Structure 1
Amino acid sequence: MGKGTITVHHVRAVLRGAERRGIDTVPLLQAAGIPPLLLGDDRARVTPVQFALLFRALYRATQDEFLGLGSAPSRPGTFAMMCCASLGCRDLGGAMRRGIAFYRLFPGGPDLALTTDGPEAVFAVRGDLGGRDEDRFLTECLLIISHRLCSWLVGRRIPLLRASFGYPPPAHKDEYPSLFGCPVRFGQTRTEAVFDARWLTAPLVRDEAALEQMLRRSPFELLSRRAYGTTVAEQVHRDLGRALLASPRLPSLYETASRLALSPATLRRRLQHEGTSFQQLKDAVRRDAAIAGLAEGREPIAELAARLGFSEDTSFHRAFRRWTGTTPGAYRLGQ
C-alpha cells in the first residue's frame, strides 16, 4: 500500500466494511500488532507486515475478497478464477478484456473498462462501488492490483504514463506518485490508469504452475507497495535506506548528490519540484526504520535510538512523537 510504512488512513479505510457488518475490529488490530489508539492520529503509520496481517484477518472475518467495501460481496476464490480464465488468452489485451467480462457476470461487481485512445490504453474503475467505498480504498486497490497483475502476466513491469482520480486529493496525496510510479492527477472525470497501447499485444508468459504459486501470496503480493525508482525522491530514499542498514550516520546531501551524479543544487531543486526535501526523506527513512523496529519488539528502545543515529533517547522520543503523534514506549505497549 515495499519497505515503507503505511499511513493510518489506509488502516481506517480497510476496516470500514467489517465495521459496517458489526465485526469487532479491535481484536483484529491487536492480532496484527497495531495499537487501536493509533487510529485516532492522522500522523500514525504501520509497517507493511502489520497491514498484511490485518488484511488477512479481515479477509477471514468477512469471507469477502472486497472486505465488505464493495456494493456486493466477492466470494473467496473469485479472483483466482478470474486469473485462470485470463491465463488462456494469447495476449495482454485479450486477458484484460476477459477479466473485465468475468467480473461483469456478478451482480454488483466492479464496473471496469478498457479502452484505447490513439497510442494510449486506458484502464478505468467506473462508478462509486455502490457508495460503500467512501475512502476509495477498494477503488485504488482495483487499479493497483490490475496493473501489477498485468505486469506479472507479461513478465515485465508495464510503465504507467499517468494515473487519474475522480475525486479531490486526499491528505496523503504525496504518496501516490511512488505508489503508482507515474504522475498523478486528482479531481478528474474518472479514476483510471493509462499506459502505452502497444502493451496490449504483449504475449502472456505465465503458466498454471506459476499462477498457483502467485495465488498463494495474492492479493498481498500484488498490493504490497513498490518503489519504482522513477523519481529522484525514490532514488534518494532508497540510497538513504541502504546507508542506514550499514551505519547510523546517514550520508549528507552532498554525498548523495555525488552518488546520483547530480550537483547539490540540482538535487535540491528536483526534490523541491517533487514536493519534498532531503531532510524530509531522511526523516522518513528513520521513521520507517523506527516503526519497524518497535513493531518487531525485540530491540530495546535505547539501542534502537542509537542504531538510527540518535545520540540521546530524549531526541529520539521527540522525533518519534513528531512523526507519529505518540511515543516509542506507548507505540510498543499498545501492540
Structure 2
Amino acid sequence: MKHLYQDKSTVSITIAVPMLLQSLEGARLAGLDIERLLRKSGIEPQQLIDEPEKRVPLDQYVLLSRYTAGAMQDEIAGLFEKPMRIGHFRAMALTSVHAKTVGGAFIRSIEFYNLFENSVQYQIEEVGDEIIFTATRIPGHKIGNTYAIESSLTVQHRFMGWLANERIILNRVTLDYPAPSYRHEYHYMFYDAPVEFDQTAITLRFNKHFMSRPIVQNESAVEGYVRRAPMDVYLPVSAGGKVTVEVRNKIIHYVETNNQQPELRDIASAMNLSQQTLRRHLQKEDSSFHVIKAQIRRDFSINLLGNIELSVEEIAYQSGYTEASAFIRAFKSWTGFTPYIFRKGLLS
C-alpha cells in the first residue's frame, strides 16, 4: 500500500501488485477462479502480468478482499491452517471495544484469537518502557506466505489504534522471514518503523504509554468498521500527539455544541493560544488543523453513509458542505470511493 502522510486529507492509496497476488495465494490453491474474482473487482488480470510494477487502487483491492473472503467463507482467505469463518473479526472487535484502554483491548483480542489455535498464538508483555506484541507460529500449522503474517499484524495494530482514535507509533518490527519483493510497502504499513527481517521472533514493539490510551469507539462504530472492512486498515490516521488529540477533541465538541464546523481561530481561542502558536505546535507533531478537521469530516460522513435513510446531499450538509459536489470530491480524495460507490459496494 502506498500513501504519503504529509497531506492526509487528499491521500491517494494504492496497493502493490506483488502484495495483491500474495493475498490471493490461498484462493488459488483452493481452486477458485482468480481471473473472475479480479474482473469482478474491476481489475484486468492480464494487466497484472504485463505491468507487475503497476499499483491497484484501494477501492478495487477492498472489493477483491471481500469477494475472496466471501467465496471461501474465510477471513484469512485460505492462508492459515483452519478457516477463520466470516464473523471472527466482528466478534473480536465487539469484545475489544468494551475494554477501557488500548491495553485492555489488546488483551481481549489476544485471548479471543488464541482460543482457536489457528497457525499463530499471540502474547503481549511489558519490558521496561516498551510493549512487545508477539506472534508465534504453531508447530505443524500452515501459514501460506508472508502476507498472512504481515496482514494479521497490520489488522491488529491498526484496529487497536482506531479504537483509541490514535496512531500507535511502532519503535520496531521484527519478522522471522526474508524481505519480500515488495518490502518497500512495509514503510507505509508500519508507519515508518524500522523493520528487521530474518529475526528469531515476529514482534511489534511500541511505548507502553499507548496501553493507557482510552477507548473512544462504541459498538455502533465497530459495526460500521466491520461493514467497511478492510478499508479502514489502509486509511491514514493522525500521528496522535498531545496537541493533535486535544485539537481533535475540541473540534468534535465544537461541532456537537454549535452544529457547525469551527475555524482555526475558534479552536485556538478555546485552548488559550494564538493561531500562530497552535499552528506551530501542530506542525511539530507532523499535523495541521486542516488535516485534523478533514479526518473528522471523513469519519463523520463514513458513519452517516451507514444510514440508508439519509441521502448523499443530506450527509454532505451534515458534514459541513454547502454543495454535494464538493463533498463527493472530498470523500473520493479521502477514501478512493465516491459516496455512492462506497454505500452500494461496501455497505450492501
Q: TM-score, normalised by structure 1?
A: 0.63
Q: 1:109 to 1:86 in 2, by over 3 A?
A: farther
Q: Distance in 2 between matches of 1:170 and 1:158?
A: 24
Q: Distance in 1 between matches of 2:21 and 2:201?
A: 24
Q: TM-score, normalised by structure 2?
A: 0.61
1:149-186 Cα distance to aligned partner (Å, 9 max, x none)? 11111121111112121111122222212221122211
Give the unaligned 5+ runs of structure 2: 4-11, 241-282, 284-332, 338-348
Q: Distance in 1 between matches of 2:210 and 2:175?
A: 22
1:173-231 Cα distance to aligned partner (Å, 9 max, x none)? 22212221122211211222111012112221222222222222123322x2648789x
Q: Distance in 2 between matches of 1:216 and 1:130?
A: 33
Q: Distance in 1 between matches of 2:99 and 2:178?
A: 37
Q: 1:109 to 1:172 in 2, by over 3 A?
A: closer
- Secondary structure, counterpart of 1:85 in structure 2: helix
- State the match for 1:198 in structure 2: 209
Q: Distance in 1 between matches of 2:169 and 2:112?
A: 25
- 1:163-182 → structure 2 map (5 Å cutoff): 163-181=173-191, 182=193
- Secondary structure, counterpart of 2:132 in structure 1: strand
Q: 1:122 to 1:56 in 2, by over 3 A?
A: same
1:259-294 Cα distance to aligned partner (Å, 9 max, x none)? x9xxxxxxxxxxxxxxxxxxxxxxxxxxxxxxx9xx
Q: 1:134 to 1:209 in 2, by over 3 A?
A: closer
Name which of structure 1's ranges 213-222 and 32-41 shifts more when overlaid on structure 2.
32-41
Residue-pair matches, total: 233
Matched, 1:152 2:162: yes
CA contact (8 A) 2:167 2:238 kept: no
- State the match for 1:30 in structure 2: 39
CA contact (8 A) 1:178 1:226 kept: no
Amino acid in structure 1 at the alignment position of 2:24: L
Q: Distance in 1 between matches of 2:54 and 2:161?
A: 32
- 1:1-335 → structure 2 map (5 Å cutoff): 1=1, 2=3, 3-40=12-49, 42-108=52-118, 110-127=120-137, 132-181=142-191, 182-222=193-233, 224=234, 226=236
CA contact (8 A) 2:37 2:68 kept: yes
CA contact (8 A) 1:162 1:183 kept: yes
Q: Distance in 2 between matches of 1:186 and 1:135?
A: 14
- Secondary structure, counterpart of 2:71 in structure 1: helix
Amino acid in structure 1 at the alignment position of 2:67: A
1:57-95 Cα distance to aligned partner (Å, 9 max, x none)? 101111111111111111111111111111222222121
Cα drift, residue 130 of structure 1 = 5.7
Give the unaligned 5+ runs of structure 1: 231-259, 261-291, 297-335
Q: 1:199 to 1:189 in 2, by over 3 A?
A: same
- Give me the identity figure in percent: 33
Q: 1:178 to 1:11 in 2, by over 3 A?
A: closer
Amino acid in structure 1 at the alignment position of 2:30: R
CA contact (8 A) 1:29 1:35 kept: yes
CA contact (8 A) 2:14 2:56 kept: yes
Amino acid in structure 1 at the alignment position of 2:125: T
Amino acid in structure 2 at the alignment position of 1:113: Q
Q: 1:70 to 1:209 in 2, by over 3 A?
A: same
Amino acid in structure 1 at the alignment position of 2:232: E
Q: Distance in 2 between matches of 1:229 and 1:102?
A: 28
Name which of structure 1's ranges 41-50 and 194-203 shifts more when overlaid on structure 2.
41-50
